[in-house]
Copies of this chain bind each other. A is one copy, B any other.
Amino acid sequence: MSGNTFGTLFAVTNFGESHGPAIGCIIDGCPPGMPLSEADIQPDLDRRRPGTSKFVTQRNEADAVEILSGVYEGKTTGTPICLLIKNTDQRSKDYGNILDTFRPGHADYTYLHKYGLRDPRGGGRSSARLTAPMVAAGAVAKKWLAQQYSTVFRGCMTQVGDVVVPFESWDHVPNNPFFAPVANVAHIEAYMEELRMAHDSCGARIRVSVSNVPVGLGEPLFDKMDADIAYAMMGINAVKGVEIGAGFGSVTQRGTKHGDSLSPQGFKSNNAGGVLGGISTGQDLEVSIAIKPTSSILSPRESIDLAGNSATVVTKGRHDPCVGIRATPIAEAMLALVVMEHALRQRAQCSDVRVATKPIPAQAK
């Protein structure tokens, strides 16, 4: 209710602050009997981990996950799974005058006015560090969905600042620090380097795609698959826009073009992005998100202090020049939580449903 639980049937409750002793989450509702160990979770955390290249924050966290409960003899028990990640590099000294001022574009100001106090240590609860437990929880959901439906979650960067990144292949994504689906990232590196020297930051655009989603997931009117995806994506730190399928491009499409034709061999296009009427079609879920530039930058900014007077803010410390760079595994994980939730809901209400004719394939060849 106070907004720290994601999902209902597969409910993930997140806790912790950037510079507290630990962060983590509790997963409630995981089906019992699934083999699970830290080794299933750690790889996704490692993909999100800071300190892995000079283009992300130099904070050095192992982000080692521990399973505190809910697994017995290597299998989930159906009871709450507590995942704990200890904070090990919570330096707090580098924050300049931000304790007494508000960073433009940052949650400093709103946290103070909501709660009456701020935890300035690394942004406290507003830090993107709190996405780590979600990546961990998402790994659990991914594993179950892979087992049940062979569902596959993939993401990549499609734009960073002014640099549009064309799609070449999913295979390139793990081979560069940007999650870019291209073989050669020299131009991205050059762009980021220029940005870093300018003490500035930039935005990014991320694409996430999910294959092998069963037809029929999503709960209209309101808990539509696409509505819940939008909720999940916009809830990620720094996200300012969400598109499904053709997204804003559908504004200029005509109906004769937008509506994806059906054939016995499959759908002929995927402007819908895998969702019609809020329910999955069986096609790939296609999601695109806009991420704003990091608000914590070295350049001086005009602001006010705690007393309400004018002030200039300079943010020192270790920050990502483009928070979008590490957003790909986060977006994948949140999407996995959405699909997991709806898979369970569908079993609850509709597991007796039988349709005379089989669904058509996702995509006509």
Distance, CA A161 to CA B249, complexed state (A): 10
A106 contacts partner chain B, Cβ-Cβ < 8 Å: yes
Of all chain B residues, the one with the shortest Cβ separation from A25 is: B26
Q: Looking at the complex, which of A50-58, A171-179, A181-189, A229-237 is the stretch in contact with chain B? A: A229-237
Counting every copy of the chain, the complex holds 4
Tell me the bound Cα distance from A237 to B148 in angstroms.
30
B272 touches A105 (CB 8 A): yes
Q: Which chain B residue shows the least CB distance to A228?
A: B231
Interface membership of A146, Cβ < 8 A: no
Which residue from chain B places its CB closest to the CB of A72 in the assembled complex? B119
* A91 located at the interface, meaning its Cβ lies under 8 Å from any Cβ of chain B in the complex: no
Name A329-365 residues within 8 Å CB distance of B: 344-360
Contact mask for chain A residues 239-250; partner B; CB cutoff 8 A; 1 contact, 0 none: 111111111111
Q: How many residues of A contact B (CB 8 A)?
A: 162
Task: Evaluate whether A304 and B262 lie within 8 angstroms (CB atoms) in the complex, with A32-B353, A281-B109 already known.
Answer: yes
Q: Are the C-beta atoms of B29 and A26 separated by less than 8 Å?
A: no
Per-position contact with B for A100-121: 1 when CB-CB < 8 Å, else 0? 0011111101111111110101
* Residue A33 is within 8 A (CB to CB) of chain B in the complex: yes
Q: How many angstroms between the C-alpha atoms of A232 and B103 in the bound complex?
A: 29
Contact at A201–B255, with CB atoms within 8 Å?
yes
Q: Considering the complex, give the chain B residue whose CB is closest to the CB of A343.
A: B348
Expressed in whole angstroms, the Cα–Cα distance for A237 and B348 within the complex equals 25
Indicate if the CB atoms of B77 and A125 lie closer than 8 Å: yes
Question: A124: which B residues are within 8 A, CB to CB?
Answer: 72, 77, 79
Q: Which residues of B contact A348 (CB under 8 A)?
A: 9, 29, 344-345, 347-348
Q: With contacts A13-B28, A113-B216, A114-B350 known, what are 14 further pairs, Cβ within 8 A?
A: A4-B80, A15-B79, A77-B115, A78-B114, A105-B276, A115-B353, A203-B253, A226-B234, A227-B234, A253-B293, A256-B301, A263-B303, A268-B302, A344-B348
CB-defined A-B contacts under 8 Å, sample of 12: A2-B345, A4-B220, A13-B80, A78-B115, A78-B350, A104-B262, A110-B281, A114-B353, A115-B353, A242-B242, A264-B309, A307-B357
